[in-house]
Structure 1
Amino acid sequence: MTVEATIERVLRLLALLQRRASWTAAQLATELGVTDRSVRRDVERLRAVGYPVHATAGVGGGYQLGAGTRLPPLLLDDEEAIATAVSLRLASGGTVAGAGEAALRALTKLDQVMPARLRAEVRAVHGATATLVDPGVEIDAELLVTLARACRDAVRVRFRYARRDGGERERTVEPVRMVTTGRRWYLMAWDVDRDDWRTFRLDRMREAVATTWRFRARDHPDPVAHVQRSVAESPYRYLARVRLRARPEQVRELVPPQVGRVEDDHDGWCVLLVGGDDLDWLAAHTARLGFEAEVLGPPELRQAVVLLARRLTAMVGKVPPPAPRLPG
């Protein structure tokens, strides 16, 4: 067998090891069309150039590509390469501090080795896509990694948390999931001191440290729904409940999830729940949606809607009567 054929087979072996967590020698031999002995030799070749290929004996054993001191080159198929390149382009405008520069560096490396036909496809997708960049709050990438590992390993996290009044307090939590709205990142966690589920904004966290205290997972609410309810309703003085003659998906197209929650009310109606500290803003916000609406609460919002209607009517002034219709 030629050297080129051997190299090609070793690269195919590497691609297989990257595809899933574990393979038996027999499975790899079948995929590559070689003997088990050839598989063992090719595994040694990968180890010789720095790939940490682990082997376990016995029933259920096999080969597994481990984590090394450096990231090994990835072998991507066409679809994976295009998806990765497009994602890296979008990441350059993200809300994770430093991710933009890192994404551009990774994209440069990928673009350098990508076949011309794939580069053309990636640039076509990018050229046909426009992104509305939202001035979101940047989050330290190290904080994301710390919290992600704590969620995965079920260990408590301590951090200092900035309150809305400007003060800070140390919190100890059992993290479950991070949720992003596109502008901000949130952590849903069990607050050990308050003995309840809480939502924390990552941009208000300071000095976050994962402890060695492991916890047993609790039954918890859906993280996305919990965070949405917390950010859209809990922090505000008023919670508006407005019934709209519209399908829920129609309203969700106009109201972002971090602004309000939409519930189906059947028969072509839905209920919008949105929080706010300003009744006039709530009245104007719901009116501008353009649907037939009924204010369910609070009573103060009904009064604000009446005042808004009077002000709008006064802005029009005297409306001339409609011209009489001519006969015939």
Structure 2
Amino acid sequence: MAETTSRILALLGLLQVHRQWSGPELAERLGVTERTLRRDIERLRDLGYRVEAERGSSGGYRLEAGTQLPPLLLSDEEAVAMAIGLRVTASQGLVDGEQTSLSALAKFEQVLPAALRERVNALASVVELAAPGSAAVATGLLGQVALACRDRERLRFAYTSGSGDETRRSVEPHSLVSAQRRWLLVAWDRERSDWRTFRVDRMSDFFGTRVHFAPRELPADDAAAFVARTISTLRELHSGEVVLKMTHDAMTRRFGQYGAEAWAEGETTVWPIRAATLEGLLSSLAWVPVDIEYELRGSPEFLALARSAAGNMLRAVDASRTQ
């Protein structure tokens, strides 16, 4: 009986970490015959697990959602990762994330062994959470995208760009990355034949195609490195310099770490600015306090935009005086 129970738990663990297994694959992994495998599948079904079976060369066994939540089988590492993830959820911009994650965490940590609870507390004590202000993402959508990444399932969705343009996308999802208080999907864009990042909060009309794909090699060490490189590239599309009429020492005393990239130029300080668009570059000037004089350096297009914006502001002020 103990051997049978261990084998069924091993079978459950395999079904939970992979979308679909063929019968021969599962039998080989467990070291049993396919007849024994079928009996073990029936035992799982009797316990409330909905295991679907499909015939044919592309068929196999997979664990589907049922009418109620059956027990999950987690390794020690998975249990620790889940507890840490629940603690982080509230600060990661998930809709209703704080209350649902705290409720789930209370139930989850109640059944954690003491040794695992100590590991969770130790990790949580050295993890710094991102600042608030994340774009809200529905937990259901994030979960669907995560499953598509795991199962290598093509996705289709509507995507709204930063400029407000909406396009339809068909992608092969690779990974989800949390960066700059945003959830980003790293995926191969099938129509553009290139790797892209998509903000999950800008995705809509989402659905899975149930079409699976062979994995592609990411042009980076991992998804996080790819996102970091993409963000860095976007930042450097446009650049300029703000020459502040104050010494570098004075700037450092007043602004601290915000002047880390600035450098001294005689009695003035040069503060570099970068953005994905010229408008974004212009918005960086709002950071400069009104009591500090400065000059601008940059491309003719950037200087022309700044001149036009300044003219609009002056006209707006003059118009208010005549009312």
Distance in 2, matches of 1:67 and 1:59, equals 20
Q: How many Å separate the matches in 2 of 1:190 and 1:27?
A: 32
Q: List runs of 5+ in structure 2 lacking aligned partners.
A: 16-20, 252-256, 270-323
* Alpha-carbon contact 2:154-2:209 (below 8 Å) kept: no
Tell me whether 1:310 sits opposite 2:267 in the alignment.
yes
Letter in 1 for 2:7: L
Aligned length: 242
Q: Does 1:125 align with 2:122?
A: yes
Q: For residues 236 and 43 of structure 1, do their structure 2 counterparts lie closer, same or farther at Cα, with a shift above 3 Å needed?
A: closer
CA distance in 2 between counterparts of 1:216 and 1:43 reads 27
Would the alpha carbon gap of residues 102 and 48 (structure 1) be closer, same or farther in structure 2, given more than 3 Å must change? same
Supply the AA of the counterpart residue of 2:70.
P
Q: Please give the secondary structure, in 1, of the residue aligned with 2:74.
A: coil
Pairwise mapping of residues 92-107 of structure 1 onto structure 2 (< 5 A)?
A: 92-107=90-105
Taking structure 1 as the reference length, what is the TM-score of the superposition?
Answer: 0.53
1:149 deviates by 6.0
1:14 matched to 2:8? The reply is yes
Task: Tell me what 1:184 maps to.
Answer: 182
1:110 aligned residue: 108
Aligned to 2:234: 234
Q: Does the CA-based 8 Å contact 2:92-2:181 persist in structure 1?
A: no
C-alpha distance after superposition, 1:193-235 (max 9, x if no partner)? 88876544334x2634348697988887446555434423435
Moved more, 169-178 or 121-130: 121-130
Post-superposition offset of 1:16: 0.3
2:46 corresponding residue in structure 1 = 48
Preserved contact between residue 82 and residue 122 of structure 1 (Cα < 8 Å): yes
Cα distance between partner residues in 2 of 1:224 and 1:130: 17
Kindly report the root-mean-square deviation, in angstroms, between the aligned alpha carbons of the 2 structures.
4.8
Aligned residues with identical type, % of pairs: 31
TM-score using structure 2 length: 0.53
CA distance change for structure 1 residues 157 and 80 in 2, over 3 Å: closer, same or farther? closer
Change (3 A) 1:27 1:196: closer
Is the 1:85–1:107 Cα contact (8 Å) retained in structure 2? yes
Matched-pair contact (CA < 8 Å) for 2:219–2:226: yes
Question: As a proportion of its length, which structure holds more helix?
Answer: 2
How far is the alpha carbon of 1:80 from its aligned partner?
A: 3.9
Asked if the contact 1:189/1:199 (under 8 Å) is kept, the reply is yes
Larger Rg over CA atoms: 1
The verdict on how the C-alpha distance between 1:14 and 1:279 changes in structure 2, with shifts beyond 3 A counting, is: farther
Aligned equivalent of 1:170, options 166, 170, 188? 166
Give distance in 2, aligned partners of 1:49 and 1:237. 57
Match of 2:86 in 1: 88
Residues of 2 paired with 1:129 and 1:29: CA distance?
A: 42
Task: State the AA in 1 paired with 2:65.
Answer: G
**2:260 counterpart residue number:** 288
Amino acid at match of 1:95: G
Contact 1:156 1:215 in 2 (8 A): no
1:278, 1:198 → 2: CA distance? 29
Deviation for aligned residue 1:73: 0.6
Question: Is the 8 Å Cα contact of residues 160 and 167 (structure 2) preserved in structure 1?
Answer: yes
**Aligned with 1:46: secondary structure?**
helix
